[in-house]
Amino acid sequence: MRTRQRVVLATAAALSGLFLAMAPAASATPVEAPGSTSAAKFAGYCGYYDGSATTRRGDSGDNVREVQCLINQWNGGSPLNVDGDFGPRTESWVVYFQDVNGLQVDGIVGPETWDALRAL
């Protein structure tokens, strides 16, 4: 009798884990403002910047915040402070992202890197 109870409990635990793994995750991405269409054209969007201007080390502002946030989403954590300053850490993560995704590795976020970041 004890063995049957253990089998039932183990099966129930396994099924619970399976159902939890299949459940959709909650999104931490900011919700688009009503009437705004610019964010809707991108799969990956953090809410800081929706353009595609070339962004590189030494730059600062919302375009850099967007790069940092998208890299954090891609990485599944927060390796970068979203501070808007494109310094050596941001450049290093851009280089890593480009390398892993088969892009030209130059540490500069141009149109192809923007597209790859937003295709998350």
CATH number at residue 38: 1.10.101.10
pLDDT in tens, 22-76: 444 433 344 444 333 344 344 689 999 999 999 999 999 999 999 999 999 999 8
- The answer to whether residue 4 sits within a structural domain is no
Residue 44 lies in a domain: yes
Block residue for tokens 């929706």: 50
- Assess if residue 71 is contained within a domain: yes
Q: What percent of the chain has pLDDT over 70?
A: 64
Domain count of the fold of the chain: 1
Nearest Cα neighbor of 64 from 40, 93, 39 is 93
Q: Which amino acid would we find at residue 103?
A: L
Distance CA 42, CA 85 (A): 23
6 is a domain residue: no
Structural domain including 88 reads 30-118
pLDDT tens track for 68-90? 999 999 998 889 999 999 999 99
Q: Is residue 1 part of a domain?
A: no
* Residue given tokens 């919302």 in the structure block: 62
Would you say residue 10 lies in a domain? Answer: no
The rounded distance, in Å, linking the Cα atoms of 7 and 37 is 53
